Amino acid sequence: MSASSVLLFPEMVLKVSEDGFEADNEVKMMRFLEGKLIVPEVYAYEKEGGKAYLLMSRLKGETIPQSRMQEIGKEALLLLESAGKELIPSRIELRTRLSWAWENIEKGEADMENCEPETYGKNGFRDPMALWDWLSENAPAEDDLTLTHGDLCLNNLILTKEGIGFFDLGKCALTDRNQDIAILLRDIRHQTGIFDEEKFVREAGFAYDKKKIRWYHLLDELF
């Protein structure tokens, strides 16, 4: 949705982004998750001239090695689950995500090139508007609610000395679990190759809903 720039310092990070929901939500969720998960600590948050300035602690550690991507991915899902869903201060419904997707289409930001090869074209959708129409008509029930990261890619995780750290939390909220599962499966597949996705999900202790996962995959094509 909104582009951000990040300035790294030895012990801190300054994130500058557009003033809006994601910027506010990131701060809200980092404060809520303090002591529950490993997330950056908020030092200061200010707004001026349509920009949001977030000064936070810098999580130190290593990126996820390819050999451990499945292991760490499962653990990340379980950690989010373990945080509980009581009193989560943010809830992002499907209709909200669909409205964001429509805004991206209107602004010409739904890129048809940077997508899975089967999404558009001969055996896919005509264009982003056709995809959005299908998503709207086939929206699944939100019946598996939990704390989700909202953009659970491996590059939004870090291996610290204390465990898995989470950052880039602008879309973190109470949402259907398959939002995170779909993004995570695709990211692991892109980085390691084809693997048994159903086995992965079931070994993590969750139900495998192929239709829902596909729906969330396709929704993310509009971002």
Distance CA 157, CA 160 (A): 9
Distance CA 167, CA 151 (A): 10
In tens, the pLDDT along 195-204 reads 999 999 999 9
Among 119, 21, 121, 29, smallest CA distance to 80 is for: 29
pTM: 0.95
Which residues have a Cβ under 8 Å from the Cβ of 47 and sit 6 or more positions away?
19, 23, 53
Distance CA 100, CA 115 (A): 18
Strand 51-57 to 12-18 pairing: antiparallel
Strand ranges, E, within 60-212: 145-148, 157-160, 163-166, 173-176
In tens, the pLDDT along 184-196 reads 999 999 999 999 9
For residue 3, the model assigns a pLDDT of: 76
Give the model's confidence band at 155: pLDDT under 50 very low, under 70 low, under 90 confident, else very high. very high
Give the model's confidence band at 1: pLDDT under 50 very low, under 70 low, under 90 confident, else very high. low
Catalytically active residues, by annotation = 151
In tens, the pLDDT along 43-76 reads 999 999 999 999 999 999 999 999 999 999 999 9
Whether 214 and 220 have beta carbons less than 8 Å apart is answered as: no
Tokens linked to 193: 């190759």
